Structures are given as C-alpha cells and as structure tokens.
C-alpha cells in the first residue's frame, strides 16, 4: 500500500472552500492513478480551517462537517485518511487527529499532546495518551505537529499486542521559519524508532505566519522515499510501504530490542 501526502494550502477559516479544494485533489489523484483503494492519505493539521484558535471556527465533534467529509471521501475512494480537526467535545477544545477507515468508520483518535507555547496551550486541552491504529497489516502511531519535537512521547515500544509500531504519521502546520528543524527531526524520529515517518505539512499563509511545505516520506534508515506529483499546483508525495524490507531490517539490526524501558508520567 501507499501513503500519500497532500501538501495543500489552507484558506483561513473557510471550511467549505478547503473541503472542496481537497475533494478536487483526491479526485485528480485517483484519475492520475496515483491513489488506489486501501491507500492512506494524509492532509495537513487542521486542514479545513487552518490553525484555529477562534471559537467560531471550532465545531462540535458530533455532526462535524469536516469529519463527515473525511468519512465520505474514505468510502467514495476506498481509502484511509488521517488528519486533525479543531473540535469542541463536551465543552473542551481539542486539536484532534482522526484516522478514518475505508468503510467510513473512525479507526483511531488522537488528541495533540504538546500544545505550542502561548495561545494554543491556553485554548486547547492537551491529550494524555499515545494512539496507534492497526490498518491493512501495519501499525500506525498518530502524531500532530509540535509532538515531533518530543522523542520520549513518540518512543517506539511493544504495545498491548506485543508489536512495535511500523509507521509514525505527523500532520502539521509547521512554519517556514523553522522548516530546517523539521527536516532534521523527521529523520531522527524515523531512525531512532526504526519506523517509517510521514510528515504532511501545509503551504501558504494565515494571519500568524507563512508555510512552505517541506513534507517528507522517510524510511527507517532516514532516507527520503516516494515520488512527487503536481496536482493542479498542489504538491503530493506518494511512497510505498514495504513489509518484507522493514521486517528484514529489524531482524538484521534489532535496535528496538535493546531500548530502555521506562514509565512516562503524564499530568
């Protein structure tokens, strides 16, 4: 299966425009033969609103237009989708990642743990647990933007089923001013966890800053993989996951078996 990163611009606060633009991109990816059934598509953090910290931009989780759109697109194309949405849940705001299965069901939910200093930390409620999703024979760890800077939080380990995760997914609004940092971090996270890492960032600008993409598909050796496609001005990256290769690499060089065990205290 492939993982496809859609490096879209986001129109600040205009959900309808953003959903329509992304629907056009998905349609084109299918028509080009890039996106096929069972593939996984990543959209940037807060893909339908932008980096929202205004109550009027945050919908309730139940009946959320963007979440329902993700479900419809997953069913329409037979794909999985991962991105985050700003949601109101029981009176609290969360930057919440949703992993949607091809049948339109929610396969996994992850609340962003590390809230950026200042407004985000005051406006949103931080997540308290890591989240993994099993899909199509792969275990995916869910991650959002600033979480990328904190290696202990995303540290690979054996989960309840006795397996390590295979892939870390990070959807982001990572600014141009710190893009050089993300290029280093994505390789570090992939190599230290012996996992694929996919970093899906946005382009364009909002009232806060500018964004220049820099999305990346990285294999467990820290190498860039995948192929770039221009979809009507939107850069997309498609990369194939290789089960035989990652299993062989981990068996030949079993770093994860030598990792320190630890307990993480989450406040």
Would you say how long the chain is, in residues? Answer: 267
CA distance 137 to 134: 7
Q: Which one is catalytic: 59, 112, 120, 200?
A: 112
Q: Which one is catalytic: 7, 45, 59, 120?
A: 45
Q: Which one is catalytic: 145, 187, 200, 236?
A: 145
Helix, strand, or coil (residue 134): strand
187 is catalytic: no
Q: CB pairs under 8 A, 24+ apart, for 110-113?
A: 110/142, 110/143, 110/144, 112/84, 112/144, 112/145, 112/146, 112/147, 113/144, 113/147, 113/150, 113/153, 113/266
Helix, strand, or coil (residue 220): coil
CA distance 162 to 68: 33
145 is catalytic: yes
Residues pairing with 200 in the sheet: 171
CA distance 111 to 114: 9
Of 51, 87, 30, 28, the closest CA to residue 202 belongs to: 51
112 is catalytic: yes
Of 71, 55, 61, the closest CA to residue 19 belongs to: 71
- Would you say 147 and 183 are in contact if contact means Cβ atoms under 8 Å apart? no
Catalytic residues: 45, 112, 145
């Amino acid at each position: 299966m492939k993982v496809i990163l859609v490096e879209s611009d986001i129109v600040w606060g205009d959900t309808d425009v953003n959903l329509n633009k992304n629907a056009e991109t998905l349609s084109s990816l299918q028509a080009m033969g890039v996106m096929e059934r069972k593939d996984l598509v990543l959209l940037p953090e807060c893909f339908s609103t932008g980096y929202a910290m205004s109550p009027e931009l945050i919908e309730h989780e139940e009946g959320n237009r963007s979440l329902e759109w993700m479900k419809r697109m997953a069913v329409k194309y037979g794909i999985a989708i991962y991105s985050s949405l700003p949601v109101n849940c029981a009176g609290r705001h969360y930057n919440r990642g949703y992993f949607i299965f091809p049948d339109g069901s929610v396969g996994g939910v992850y609340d962003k743990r590390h809230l950026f200093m200042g407004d985000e930390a005051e406006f949103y409620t931080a997540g308290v647990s890591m989240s993994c999703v099993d899909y199509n024979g792969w275990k995916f760890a869910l991650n959002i933007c600033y979480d990328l800077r904190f290696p202990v939080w995303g540290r690979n380990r054996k989960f309840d089923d006795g397996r390590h995760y295979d892939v870390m997914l990070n959807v982001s609004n990572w600014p141009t001013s710190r893009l050089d940092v993300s290029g280093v971090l994505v390789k570090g996270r992939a190599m230290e966890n012996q996992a694929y890492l996919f970093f899906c960032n946005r382009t364009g600008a909002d009232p806060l800053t500018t964004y220049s993409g820099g999305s990346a598909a990285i294999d467990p050796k820290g190498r860039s993989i995948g192929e770039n496609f221009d979809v009507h001005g939107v850069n997309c990256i498609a990369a194939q996951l290789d089960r035989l290769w990652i299993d062989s690499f981990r068996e030949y060089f079993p770093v994860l078996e030598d990792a320190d065990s630890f307990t993480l205290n989450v406040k």
